């Protein structure tokens, strides 16, 4: 009986001490029917405690898991989440009412909605908020890097449509996702050889602003990449201005991604802000990509932490080469090991590269607790 289960206590100040602990813990709690208590919520953020975005994510997971919650309100530093029965497929929506990132809301819901052995019907999810927000992967990163990774490596084909863009700082955008159910456990992955770069793509976008801003971001990013030795023939960056009806707020951003001959996709990005010249935004996106390419890693810094929950749930041993470990990744590993029987090993290779290996739990769609 669920009531007799021991509550898993989690210290929200561990590692990066931010929202990722909440997202991963709530997702795993939902899948494993394991009650959790999180103390010191967002301890390393100022101000600490839940923001509207985190509140919306927890309530979304609670809808999926028919969960009881305590302390789910803005500013709360203590949260309890007690899941019950998952009933899938579902048609769901979440809206923090702020510019909170839609991609971070997706990180909460996606693992929960993937597993359903009772039907072949997709779940559908509408998420509102910031699509190109600060302090989170932009929606274009999700489209061009994260979702292709899930499709190629784990065989998970998520549908995602941008209904309207919501640029930083106002937000107000909307995305629509379809999540097909899995009929068997995820299979372990091995990605150790990146291979040569065959193309660098990019999109510099603005909404409600002159297209010249997008052109400046594009030009600066191209110049930075070429100055660091990348051939101009490898680079294709488009400058785009959204139609008025396709963007709710004025703003912009640039996302770059490098494709390699072995099927790896490495990203880099930057969001436009009022205090940054467009050329600086383009240069910072290019530098982000260059930083993620310098250690021959097969996944970039954002994919590094997002893949951890899927490695933990997969069946068998996964091994992935990456760059320097981020605090987000260390935190994701900590939560996965705390809540499941998955075990990770991290090995440093040379000056900055690492391999992350995981013996996954082989989570089955029937919702048994492994």
Active-site annotation holds for 295: no
Q: Flag whether 295 is marked binding.
A: no
Task: Tell whether residue 305 is among the known ligand binding residues.
Answer: yes
Q: Is the peptide bond before 56 cis (omega within 30 degrees of 0)?
A: no
Cα–Cα distance list, 95 to 116, 145, 193 (Å)? 25, 24, 40
CA distance 34 to 26: 9
Q: Is 245 known as a binding-site position?
A: no
Question: What distance in Å separates the CA atoms of residue 257 and residue 225, rounded to the nearest whole number?
Answer: 12
- In the chain, DSSP assigns E strands to 8-11, 36-39, 68-70, 78-82, 91-94, 123-129, 159-164, 173-179, 190-191, 197-207, 235-241, 251-260, 265-271, 315-322, 343-349, 353-361
Of 105, 77, 101, 74, the residue nearest 92 (C-alpha)? 105
Does the annotation flag 304 for ligand binding?
yes
* Number of neighbours of residue 124 by Cβ within 10 angstroms: 16
Q: Burial letters for 211-237: b for 16+ Cβ neighbours within 10 Å, e otherwise?
A: eebbbbbbbbbbebbeeeebeeebbeb
Catalytic residue among 54, 328, 334, 354: 328
The total of other beta-carbon atoms located within 10 Å of residue 264's CB is 24
In the chain, where does DSSP find H-type helix?
19-32, 52-65, 102-114, 139-141, 147-154, 211-227, 278-293, 301-306, 308-313, 327-339
Left, alpha or beta for 204 (phi > 0: left; psi -120 to 50: alpha)?
beta
Q: Which of the residues are catalytic?
A: 328
Binding residues for ATP: 107, 302-306
Binding residues: 107, 302-306
């Amino acid at each position: 009986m669920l009531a007799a289960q021991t509550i898993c206590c989690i210290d929200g100040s561990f590692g990066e001490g931010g929202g990722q602990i909440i997202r991963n813990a709530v997702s795993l709690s939902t899948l494993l029917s394991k009650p959790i208590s999180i103390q010191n919520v967002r301890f390393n953020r100022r101000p600490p405690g839940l923001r509207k975005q985190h509140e919306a994510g927890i309530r979304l997971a609670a809808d999926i898991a028919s969960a009881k919650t305590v302390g789910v309100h803005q500013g709360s530093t203590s949260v309890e989440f007690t899941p019950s029965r998952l009933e899938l497929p579902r048609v769901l929506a979440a809206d923090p009412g702020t510019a909170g990132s839609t991609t971070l809301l997706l990180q909460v819901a996606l693992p929960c909605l993937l597993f359903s052995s009772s039907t072949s019907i997709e779940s559908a999810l509408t998420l509102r908020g910031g699509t190109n927000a600060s302090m989170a992967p932009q929606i274009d990163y999700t489209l061009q890097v994260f979702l292709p990774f899930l499709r190629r490596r784990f065989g998970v084909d998520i549908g995602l449509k941008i209904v309207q863009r919501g640029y930083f700082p106002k937000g107000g955008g909307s995305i629509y996702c379809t999540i097909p159910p899995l009929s068997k456990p995820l299979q372990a992955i091995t990605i150790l050889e990146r291979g040569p770069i065959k193309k660098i793509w990019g999109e510099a976008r603005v909404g409600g602003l002159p297209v010249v801003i997008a052109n400046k971001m594009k030009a600066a990013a191209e110049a930075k990449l070429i100055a660091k030795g990348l051939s101009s023939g490898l680079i294709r960056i488009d400058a785009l201005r959204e139609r008025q009806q396709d963007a709710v707020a004025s703003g912009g951003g640039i996302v770059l991604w490098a494709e390699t001959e072995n099927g790896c996709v490495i990203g880099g990005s930057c969001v436009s802000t009022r205090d940054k010249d467009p050329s600086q935004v383009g240069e910072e996106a290019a530098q982000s990509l260059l930083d993620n390419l310098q250690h021959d890693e097969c996944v970039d810094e954002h994919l590094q932490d997002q893949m951890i929950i899927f490695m933990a749930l997969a069946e068998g041993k996964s091994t992935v080469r990456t760059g320097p470990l981020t605090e987000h990744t260390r935190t994701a590993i900590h939560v996965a090991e705390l809540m499941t029987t998955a075990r990770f090993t991290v090995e440093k290779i040379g000056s900055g590269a690492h391999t992350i290996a995981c013996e996954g739990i082989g989570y089955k769609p029937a919702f048994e607790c492994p």
